[in-house]
């Protein structure tokens, strides 16, 4: 029987309220009109920003939904925009990107914290008899929630802030010397790596095995990409998208990804595609023809190989001319979706590089 099935709903509601107040910095006090007035923001603008972060608005205009923390955050956001730090027409898009990222992070964190609560309760129940089970459940749950809100959440929040600051410092270092330049349009090497046969594999393995496979794939690819001087753009199921400032770095990352897969029999083969050129950088994601070309090359690549486009091949010939660490072999023009004659090259390690 699940814990929620034998706990008094009123107890669960009270505990949920306590957790919510801890997370939100206080109880819900205001309607949407009241919080907009308190923040000094027109109601329509406040609602637009709230929804863009991924939160619903109650259809009842008199519903008490918002806290003092919500009002303070709304004031800070509007002050940030009105002060010129963020263009007004980009505010909704920025909050939407932030909301989507935080939503995914929160879903994962809640799963972890729920598992911790379950372990705490299981330990508290060991040795208790059935007669005092309900009382123990309520008492144990309150104690576990108290520990969670007073100790674990501040630790998670501090760690989250630390990782964010570290990534901010790394992104700043990558943009060194670009102050005043248009950083939304950049020339980058973009790559994709995806697992071969992933769809059929998911039909043959258990959910827990799939979880382990994805964890291993993401762990290994993230390490290779970061160590190689690139950065992960996003993971989508069986595929990782990454970028690098220089063609040679992207090429070495691609070869290293293939190498790490070959040495691990637990991972499927990879296909890797790379392209170089101008991209649109939008809230951490990349868009444009270069991204499409890299994706098409990944799809066209044979298992265990790396395909690159003509621009990246040309850049590699310049960047690696001195060390000869890589080889390129021209292929016949490819016919892929959106491109009838896409020039492509197979990238391989050069002689004497251990392959």
* DSSP states along 240-308: EEEEESSHHHHHHHHHHHHHHHHT-TTS--EEEEEEEEEEEEETTEEESHHHHHHHHHHHHSPTT-EEE
Question: Mind giving me the DSSP string for 168-200?
Answer: HHHHHHHTTT-TTS-TTEEEEEEEEEEETTHHH
**285 strand-pairing partners:** 282
Sketch the domain layout of the chain as residue ranges.
3-174, 185-349
Q: Which two tokens stand for residue 165?
A: 């600051």
| Rounded-to-integer distance, Cα 238 and Cα 334, Å | 24
Q: Which two tokens stand for residue 134?
A: 């309900």
| Rounded-to-integer distance, Cα 149 and Cα 16, Å | 12
Q: Which two tokens stand for residue 291?
A: 């991204």
Please list the ranges in the chain whose pLDDT falls under 50.
Answer: 1-4, 6, 130-133, 136, 323, 355
Burial category of 54 from C-beta neighbours within 10 Å (exposed 0-12, middle 13-18, buried 19 and up) = middle
**What is the model's pLDDT at position 156?**
83
**CATH class given for the domain over 185-349:** alpha beta
Q: Which two tokens stand for residue 296?
A: 């098409």
Angstrom distances, CA of residue 62 to CA of 30, 38, 87, 99: 9, 15, 32, 25
**306 strand-pairing partners:** 272, 347
| Rounded-to-integer distance, Cα 22 and Cα 69, Å | 11
Cα atoms found within 13 Å of the Cα of residue 328, Cβ hemisphere only: 23
**What is the model's pLDDT at position 130?**
47
Dihedral class, residue 43 (left if φ above 0, else alpha if ψ from -120 to 50, else beta): alpha
Cα Dmax for the chain: 78
**275 strand-pairing partners:** 190
**What is the model's pLDDT at position 99?**
86
| Rounded-to-integer distance, Cα 299 and Cα 291, Å | 13
**What is the model's pLDDT at position 16?**
67
**What is the model's pLDDT at position 231?**
93
Question: Mind giving me the DSSP string for 149-170?
Answer: IIIIHHHHHHHHHHHHHHHHHH
Q: What does the pLDDT look like over 295-324, one tens digit per residue?
A: 999 999 999 999 999 999 999 988 765 545
Sign of torsion over alpha carbons 221, 223, 229, 230: positive
């Amino acid at each position: 029987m699940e814990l929620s099935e034998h706990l008094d709903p009123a107890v669960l509601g009270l505990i949920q309220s306590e957790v919510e107040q801890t997370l939100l910095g206080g109880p819900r006090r205001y309607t949407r009109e009241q919080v907009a007035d308190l923040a000094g923001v027109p109601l329509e603008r406040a609602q637009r920003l709230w929804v863009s972060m991924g939160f619903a608005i109650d259809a009842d205009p008199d519903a008490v939904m918002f806290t003092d923390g919500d009002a303070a955050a709304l004031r800070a956001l509007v002050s940030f925009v009105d002060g010129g730090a963020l263009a007004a027409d980009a505010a909704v898009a920025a909050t939407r990107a932030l909301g989507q990222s935080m939503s995914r992070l929160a879903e994962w964190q809640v799963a972890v914290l729920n598992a911790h609560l379950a372990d705490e309760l299981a330990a508290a129940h060991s040795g208790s008899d059935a007669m005092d089970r309900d009382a123990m459940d309520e008492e144990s749950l309150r104690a576990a929630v108290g520990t969670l809100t007073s100790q674990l959440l501040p630790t998670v929040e501090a760690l989250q802030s630390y990782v964010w600051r570290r990534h901010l410092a790394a992104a700043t270092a990558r943009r060194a010397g670009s102050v005043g330049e248009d950083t939304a349009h950049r020339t980058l090497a973009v790559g994709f790596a995806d697992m071969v046969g992933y769809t059929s594999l998911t039909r043959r393995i258990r959910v827990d095995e799939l979880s382990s496979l994805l964890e291993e794939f993401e762990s290994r690819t993230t390490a290779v990409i970061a160590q190689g001087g690139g950065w992960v753009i996003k993971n989508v199921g069986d595929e990782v998208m990454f970028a690098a400032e220089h063609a040679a770095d992207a090429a070495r990352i691609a070869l290293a990804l293939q190498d790490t897969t070959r040495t691990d029999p637990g991972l499927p083969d990879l296909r890797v595609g790379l392209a170089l050129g101008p991209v649109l950088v939008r809230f951490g994601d990349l868009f444009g023809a270069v991204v499409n070309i890299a994706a098409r090359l990944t799809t066209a690549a044979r298992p265990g190989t790396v395909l690159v486009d003509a621009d990246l091949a040309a850049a590699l010939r310049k960047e690696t001319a001195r060390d000869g660490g890589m080889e390129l072999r021209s292929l016949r023009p490819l016919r892929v979706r959106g491109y009838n004659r896409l020039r492509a090259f197979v990238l391989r390690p050069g002689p004497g590089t251990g392959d």
